[in-house]
A = this chain, B = another copy of it.
Amino acid sequence: MGLERWKTVELPIVHDSRGNLTFIESNRHVPFDIKRVYYLYDIPGGAQRGGHAHKTLQQMLIAMSGSFDVILDDGFVRQTLSLNRGYCGIYLEKLIWRELVNFSSGAVCMVLASDFYDESDYYREYDEFIKAVRGTPEALGNKALHE
């Protein structure tokens, strides 16, 4: 992919007939201290999670089981990526709107984050996010929004 602000990452994998092992170390496989790990599970097939962006937080998303799609948007370009392997992650810089959609039954989404939970770090409204990354909509003139 041509964008710098998010990227797919192939993580290390140790193959073994008893199962595979993937590891992620702070500041080695992610460019931050892993302060927080969270995961979504018991997700109904086909569900989706409401979008948001972070003011400063960096994250790595991984499909630990099953599959789901990640819609990414930096305010100018929108891209959808699929995750369905334990050794593939998506690294996200700050200021990226993300939506998680199309969960398979039994999917588990793990997220490694660069900081503790802080509600004030969230953009919960897309308009508010766009304003932060593009300035006021009026100032943009005719510049099209990823269309």
Contacts from A to B (Cβ < 8 Å): 17-26, 28, 33-44, 47-49, 64-65, 86, 103, 106, 108, 110, 112, 116-117
Contact = CB atoms under 8 A, between A and B. Distances in A.
A38 B64 contact: no
A133 to B, nearest CB: 26
10 contacts: A19-B40, A19-B49, A20-B41, A20-B42, A20-B43, A23-B36, A24-B36, A26-B33, A28-B116, A65-B65
B37 A106 contact: no
Contact of A23 (B22, B38, B64): B38
State the oligomeric state as a number of copies.
2
Contacts of A48: 18
A42 B19 contact: yes
B86 A39 contact: yes
A37 B40 contact: no
Give the one of A33, A42, A49 with max B CB within 10 A: A42
A26 B36 CA distance: 6
Contacts of A64: 39, 41, 64-65, 108, 110
A98 to B, nearest CB: 15
